[in-house]
Amino acid sequence: MKIGLVGVGKFSDDFIRLFNLHPDVEEVVLADLDENRVKRSMEKHGIKRGFASYEEMLDNAPELDSIAIFTQRHLHGPMIIEALKRGKHVYSAVPIGCTMDEIKDIVELVNKTRLIYMMGETCYYYPCAIYCREQYKKGAFGEFVYGESQYYHDICEMYDDFARSGGEHWQRVAGIPPMFYPTHSIAMTFSAIDQHALKVSCMGLRDDHSDNIYGEDKNDWQNPFSNETAIFRMSGGGVVRINEFRRVGINKPSSYITCFYGDKGAYECSVTKHTFQRGVASGERPYIEDVGGLINTIEYNEDLKNGTIDMTHDPISVKYIEGFAAIQDRERLPKTMRNTPKFSHYNSHPFLVDDFVRAVTSGKLPPNNAWDAARYMIPGLIAHESALKGGELLDIPDLGGAPEDWERITYEHKDNYEDMSKYYEVECMH
Ligand SMILES: NC(=O)c1ccc[n+]([C@@H]2O[C@H](COP(=O)([O-])OP(=O)(O)OC[C@H]3O[C@@H](n4cnc5c(N)ncnc54)[C@H](O)[C@@H]3O)[C@@H](O)[C@H]2O)c1
């Protein structure tokens, strides 16, 4: 396949490299409004063609069969729609779109054309999400009753992210409602139980900070909230609590599942402590198991074993979040991508690229396809509406699941975790 990547900012660099490394990708071309960013990246990655805008790339490179969108978060929807209308498969960074209309149009277009759309949800591939998804499927938790997940990213750490391409009025975009970027936290829990949200009640924290980002007259969404907390009623009857915080004194982890409870078993996490508990109703003798060997990065676990991590006062090194964890099946990746150096976001980037390329080359549905992405995004849009109405309980429109007759990408899941890594060691506290 030949792919045109638009938005050569900070985040896309890993992806340009990975698309280039993938054996099924013949050519990668770039486009950005900033000429220097295109030039630098072409030199760094040995790319032959670059364009001065998205529009110019679409008009002048008709042979591209796929487009990857890495522009600022609020710009994705219309760009995805334009590419689909021109017959291209589309990958976009999160989110899929920021309005109901955009999302509906994308789902309709994908349904009609059977082109691939995949949202690049990094957290779907996070070790804690894989763990809960696989264990839930195996029945270890029983029926889902309650879960909590969150994405915490203090706005002070993102000033530069918004200012980089946002011009002198960057604050007007930085103040986007937190629940308009909900897919990290939502995807982790919703994908694990394979259910969608029916209803929501959400509360917002009004923010009067002197950085002038949040407030009715201060941003393009008239958004007064830096933090939003939503409670969702799920289609299976359980409840999920989602936090999207942009003003909070926590640094790492940033996207994680705090707890995931079924009626027979439970997962809980505190920083790097991950435990599974077998409950009384399981019929087995209840126990607690430390599953950090599977979920923390391999390098972190090694350092923990060597005694080089001091949990009494730790500077939160990148080892917490960069690199593969034992539960991630590295062997399913093409050989060229298996031993790539560490990427941030728990090395989710190679999995994202490989799933999109597999979907395009096989015609099969990827995870985080248009229907999944809609079910991870629309609940956030409605949650924000609820927060503006003081927490009123609102119904969540559902665009349905992906068509049954569209075959999905599948992998052979390894059942025996002990085979997955020599680093897997369980501390059992029976
Ligand atoms: N974990 C994650 O999933 C994760 C992490 C970081 C960023 N992101 C997402 O990745 C995206 C990019 O983030 P970033 O930090 O790299 O942003 P950035 O501001 O560094 O880069 C965006 C680039 O898009 C370009 N652009 C905008 N409109 C264009 C157009 N019409 N034609 C050509 N170029 C155009 C800008 O010039 C800029 O260089 C965002 O949507 C962000 O939300 C996701």
Q: Is 53 in the pocket of ligand 1 (CB under 6 A)?
A: yes
Ligand 1 pocket: which of 10, 16, 72 to mutate (most atoms within 8 A of CB): 72
**Is the pLDDT at 424 greater than 70, yes or no?**
no
Positive or negative, the CA dihedral 118, 122, 123, 127 is positive
- 274 and 129 together in one domain: yes
- 174 and 300 together in one domain: yes
- 405 and 297 together in one domain: yes
Percent of the chain exceeding pLDDT 70 equals 94
pLDDT at 423: 33
pLDDT at 413: 59
The type of residue at 294 is L
Q: Is 212 in the pocket of ligand 1 (CB under 6 A)?
A: no
Quickly list H helices, 327-369: 335-338, 344-362
- 86 and 129 together in one domain: no
- Residue 386 in any domain: the answer is yes
Cβ proximity of 330 and 411 under 8 Å:
no
- Residue 364 in any domain: the answer is no
pLDDT at 184: 98
Of 65-79, 128-142, 157-171, 402-416, the range with the lowest mean pLDDT is: 402-416
Q: Is 372 in the pocket of ligand 1 (CB under 6 A)?
A: no
- 117 and 266 together in one domain: no
Tokens of 108: 């309709």
- 38 and 22 together in one domain: yes
pLDDT at 112: 98
Q: Is 346 in the pocket of ligand 1 (CB under 6 A)?
A: no
- 327 and 406 together in one domain: yes
CATH, residue 159: 3.30.360.10
- Residue 324 in any domain: the answer is yes
Tokens of 367: 């995870």
Q: What is the DSSP letter of 342?
A: P
Ligand 1, residue 73: give the atom nearest the CA.
41
290-329 b/e with 16+ CB inside 10 Å = b?
Answer: bbbbbbbbbbbbebbeeeebeeeeeeeeebbbbbbbbbbe
- Residue 357 in any domain: the answer is no
pLDDT in tens, 298-343: 888 988 888 888 777 777 666 777 888 999 998 899 988 887 667 8
Q: Is 92 in the pocket of ligand 1 (CB under 6 A)?
A: no
pLDDT at 337: 86
- Secondary structure percentages of the chain, helix, strand, coil, to 5: 40, 20, 40
Residue 73 alpha carbon to ligand 1 centre in Å: 7
The domain total for the chain is 2
First and final CA of the chain: distance in angstroms?
52
DSSP E strand stretches across 48-88: 50-51, 66-69
Q: How many CB atoms lie within 10 A of CB 81?
A: 18
Which residue, chain included where needed, has tokens 């109405």?
389
- 233 and 324 together in one domain: yes
pLDDT at 318: 66
Q: Is 73 in the pocket of ligand 1 (CB under 6 A)?
A: yes
Cβ proximity of 92 and 335 under 8 Å:
no
Domain region containing 393? 124-348+371-429
**Is the pLDDT at 422 greater than 80, yes or no?**
no
- Residue 366 in any domain: the answer is no
Among candidate residues 87, 102, 122, the one where a domain is terminated:
122
